[in-house]
Amino acid sequence: MTSGISRRTTLKSALGVTGALALGVPALSGTAIAADPSDELTLWYRTPAADWERESLPIGSGALGASVFGTLGTERLTLNEKSLWTGGPGAGGGYDHGDWTQPRPGVLASVQQRLDTEGKLTPEAVAAELGQPKHGFGAYQVFGDLELAVPGAPTAPDGSYRRALDLGQAVAGVSYTHQGVAYTREFFASYPGDVIAGRFAADQPGKVGFTLRYTSPRDDFSATASGDRLTVRGALQDNGLRFEAQIRVRTSGGSVSAGADGTLTVSGADSAWFVLAAGTDYADTFPDYRGDDPHAAVTAAVDAAAAHSYEELRAEHVSDHRALFDRVSLDIGQQTPDLSTDQLLAGYTGGTSAADRALEALFFQYGRYLLIASSRAGSLPANLQGVWNNVTNPPWSADYHVNINLQMNYWLAEVTNLAETTAPYDRYVESMREPGRRSAQKIFGSAGWVVNNETNPYGFTGVHDWATSFWFPEAAAWLTQQMYDHYRFNGSTDYLRSTAYPVMKEAAEFWLANLRTDPRDGTLVVTPSYSPEHGDFTAGAAMSQQIVHDLFTSTLEAARTLGDAPDFRTRLENALGALDPGLRIGSWGQLQEWKTDVDSRTDDHRHVSHLFGLHPGRQIEAGSEWAEAAKVSLTARGDGGTGWSKAWKINFWARLRDGDHSHKMLSEQLKSSTLPNLWDTHPPFQIDGNFGATSGVAEMLVQSQHGPIEILPALPGSWPDGRVTGLRARGGVTLDIVWSGGSASRITLRASRTTDLTLRSTLFPGGEHTFRASAGQTYVFPQP
């Protein structure tokens, strides 16, 4: 990444070939905002947003984000640039070049020995030995707010007011009529342009005016205006990270003037638009994490965008977005009533009405929209809030929690045909290797790379001392799972060789060096082992073992595919043979969370970590005794939990082939963990639940984790008839499925590779059809 320069080099070349109008995208008309309430892919409201978290509407280009309020008198956009982080090496009290964990010889071994003899230790006891205070972790920062004060705007919305977010175009808009004049505003974040743009228009000449100003909760910046340009420059006091934004305003008719107070004022215009570029001098390079001053790149981006017409910029953006978003459509019999989205949500019952289905289909597509908007190549991956944040101290720093949350953010990426959005994830995981090696050395004295419970953009891979969340070295292995899956979906051995495998192999080296023989039964176990945020430290908790099993299984497959050295393969085979697989059925038929049978039937903890092998892993297959035990555990855990926990349960029940329970969890999430702007709430807002829910819906419709492609494995009774297009399955497959009366009636499969495929569906006699697919061919079943 991620120096702004490389980000923008790609973008300029995209602008160079623009001619977006020539791509057939319709040009903007004066009132073409996205507020058509009949559009099933639009979120819309009758009032401006009063509350950022509950009501603002997000737009984003991966690196840049904005949340739109639609306020009449002063339009507000809360701005984000994803690398604007405090903390990091060298920051006051911060860690030094990744060496945040002091070597304390013998401490780890003594904890392991105590676990051997005492069986368990409290998190507090282990944190007292192995933890250390958290320094310099930092937090994701709001970039500031853009305020556009509109003279003469009405003070309160009337019936003409609409605020909307069109997911198909990725354009947010506001429309209202005042004193006989129809006003429109619209906003988008362009990935090819690397800018945020907005336009104010009216249906009568000379009616558009505003004063544009930048504000920030920090006082670390200067804002100066000159001509049509507003420049914001500053450096975070905490760590000196430099940031810059530039805004340029163009008008049609009227005038623009710069104020000595750092404002730009438009008056008497027929329409006016602005474009904003922003960047920092962050780079994802160990050990300094600094790149070029953002000035040159920001100037280039804003000037390139301002040299085009608004219509060109918009058309280019829409076509870029549509190229991803339009790949998947979902028809579950929804019919969008004339209800604003907050009303649709408030009236949602989880039943079978067309309106309930409208919300479910919208929520599914919203997850895809949010991933496109918060994860594009050239920046950091989606954090706990995607790219959106309105404060300097967001919950959990809006960081990268890796004991489920970052992983969950990408569960939907492959199956809902957005594989490109994983590029920043891969890059981020790769960037953790170098500091992760330091942590492996310092904490474990071993080879390999490691990261613990949460991480930041500055290579924090160590531990802290919050007892229930400081220790989770399994995270590195889990993070590689998505990368191997990327390979399983697209089949590129080049990608496997160059990107996924090196990271997987080094994570495997870490565990080859760190598993210990369990004196209880001679198996290899992870110790100390901690089932995320739950219970005591022990040796060999189910999730630890299942993650290592998953890593070793995938790494061995990859090593065979790539023909890696036989001795490495032999070491993996031997370790897999001796590994405790983390699957054990306890006294009440449950899948045990720990190696000893201590699970409580009344435990409703939000983490359901011991079911990792069911999802996102592939160790447990539906129909097996393990799946039955997983069902017992999941039933006992109940249908509650935080937003992301409910989302995980959608996926679990889908993997257990129980579409109705899967759908129940989707409805629980919509009823109690979803805000009016359809952001998932933990509470507070946490975007993993959005992504996990979209993944869960896809898992109801197609699964391929065990090899065969399962069509409609968990179709809920409330969606008896429907159609989905464009879902992906492992093996380079794209699928359209039509169903009626609860069964598939037509499957269309496009193969991108020549390979043997097995399709499982009631459509085939015996339930299965195996054939050799040829690259580039389309297959229709039943055959016409």
Q: Interface residues with ligand FUC (CB under 6 A)?
A: 384, 396, 401, 403, 405, 469, 533, 606-607, 642, 644, 682, 686
Prior bond of 435 cis (ω within 30°): no
The position carrying tokens 């420049």 is 231
Q: Of 184 and 694, which CB lies nearer to ligand FUC in the complex structure?
A: 694
CB of 455 to ligand FUC, least distance (A): 12
CB of 453 to ligand FUC, least distance (A): 7
* Cβ–Cβ < 8 Å for 503, 517: no
- C-beta contacts of 612-615 below 8 A and 24+ residues apart: 612/542, 612/543, 612/546, 612/547, 612/550, 613/542, 613/546, 613/549, 613/550, 613/582, 613/583, 614/652, 614/655, 614/656, 615/648, 615/651, 615/652, 615/654, 615/655, 615/699
Question: How many residues are recorded in the chain?
Answer: 784
Separation of alpha carbons 672 and 665, rounded Å = 10
Q: Going by DSSP bridges, is the β-strand pair 709-711/755-760 parallel, antiparallel, or unpaired? A: parallel
Q: Of 533 and 658, which CB lies nearer to ligand FUC in the complex structure?
A: 533
CB of 567 to ligand FUC, least distance (A): 38
Q: Of 499 and 531, which CB lies nearer to ligand FUC in the complex structure?
A: 531
Q: Of 376 and 606, which CB lies nearer to ligand FUC in the complex structure?
A: 606
From residue 371, how far is each of 58, 139, 490, 586, 671 by CA, in Å?
11, 21, 19, 39, 22
Q: Of 112 and 468, which CB lies nearer to ligand FUC in the complex structure?
A: 468
Q: Of 425 and 530, which CB lies nearer to ligand FUC in the complex structure?
A: 530
Decide: helix, strand or coil at residue 62: coil
CB of 702 to ligand FUC, least distance (A): 28
Decide: helix, strand or coil at residue 760: strand
CB of 386 to ligand FUC, least distance (A): 14
Which of these, 83, 78, 260, 72, lies nearest to 183 by C-alpha position?
72
CB of 599 to ligand FUC, least distance (A): 18
CB of 530 to ligand FUC, least distance (A): 12
* Cβ–Cβ < 8 Å for 294, 243: yes
CB of 642 to ligand FUC, least distance (A): 5
Query: Which segments within 622-701 are labelled E, that is strand?
Result: none
CB of 308 to ligand FUC, least distance (A): 40
CB of 398 to ligand FUC, least distance (A): 9
CB of 469 to ligand FUC, least distance (A): 5
Q: Of 426 and 454, which CB lies nearer to ligand FUC in the complex structure?
A: 454
Q: Of 673 and 686, which CB lies nearer to ligand FUC in the complex structure?
A: 686
Q: Of 311 and 533, which CB lies nearer to ligand FUC in the complex structure?
A: 533
CB of 607 to ligand FUC, least distance (A): 6
* Cβ–Cβ < 8 Å for 386, 376: no
CB of 399 to ligand FUC, least distance (A): 8
CB of 682 to ligand FUC, least distance (A): 6
Q: Of 688 and 736, which CB lies nearer to ligand FUC in the complex structure?
A: 688
3-state secondary structure 602-615: CCCCCCCHHHCCCC
Q: Which residue is nearest to ligand FUC (CB)?
A: 401
Q: Of 547 and 735, which CB lies nearer to ligand FUC in the complex structure?
A: 547
What single DSSP character describes residue 717?
T
Which of these, 637, 777, 670, 651, lies nearest to 714 by C-alpha position?
651
Count of alpha carbons within 13 angstroms of residue 618, beta-carbon side: 16
* Cβ–Cβ < 8 Å for 708, 759: yes
Buried-state track 399-435, b at ≥16 Cβ within 10 A, e below 16: bbbbbbbbbbbbbbbbbbbbbebbbbbbbbbbbbbeb
CB of 468 to ligand FUC, least distance (A): 8
Q: Of 383 and 416, which CB lies nearer to ligand FUC in the complex structure?
A: 383
From residue 312, how far is each of 16, 202, 703 by CA, in Å?
12, 19, 40
Decide: helix, strand or coil at residue 632: helix
Greatest Cα pair distance, the chain, in angstroms, is 83
Q: Which amino acid is at 418?
A: L
Query: Which segments within 12-109 are labelled E, that is strand?
Result: 42-45, 57-60, 64-68, 74-81
* Cβ–Cβ < 8 Å for 139, 80: no
Q: Of 239 and 407, which CB lies nearer to ligand FUC in the complex structure?
A: 407
- The answer for 227, left when phi > 0, alpha when psi is -120 to 50, beta otherwise, is left
Which of these, 545, 526, 668, 675, lies nearest to 606 by C-alpha position?
668
Q: Of 283 and 450, which CB lies nearer to ligand FUC in the complex structure?
A: 450
CB of 394 to ligand FUC, least distance (A): 11
Separation of alpha carbons 79 and 42, rounded Å = 22
CB of 643 to ligand FUC, least distance (A): 9
Q: Of 291 and 696, which CB lies nearer to ligand FUC in the complex structure?
A: 696
- The answer for 186, left when phi > 0, alpha when psi is -120 to 50, beta otherwise, is beta
Torsion angles phi and psi, residue 119, rounded to 5: 85, -35
Separation of alpha carbons 496 and 229, rounded Å = 46
Q: Of 595 and 606, which CB lies nearer to ligand FUC in the complex structure?
A: 606
Q: How far apart are the first and last CA of the chain?
A: 48
Q: What share of the chain is helix, strand, coil (3-state, %, to 5)?
A: 35, 25, 40
Q: Of 380 and 759, which CB lies nearer to ligand FUC in the complex structure?
A: 380
From residue 540, how far is each of 127, 147, 229, 517, 629 by CA, in Å?
18, 54, 60, 10, 18
* Token pair for 318: 């829409």
CB of 124 to ligand FUC, least distance (A): 17
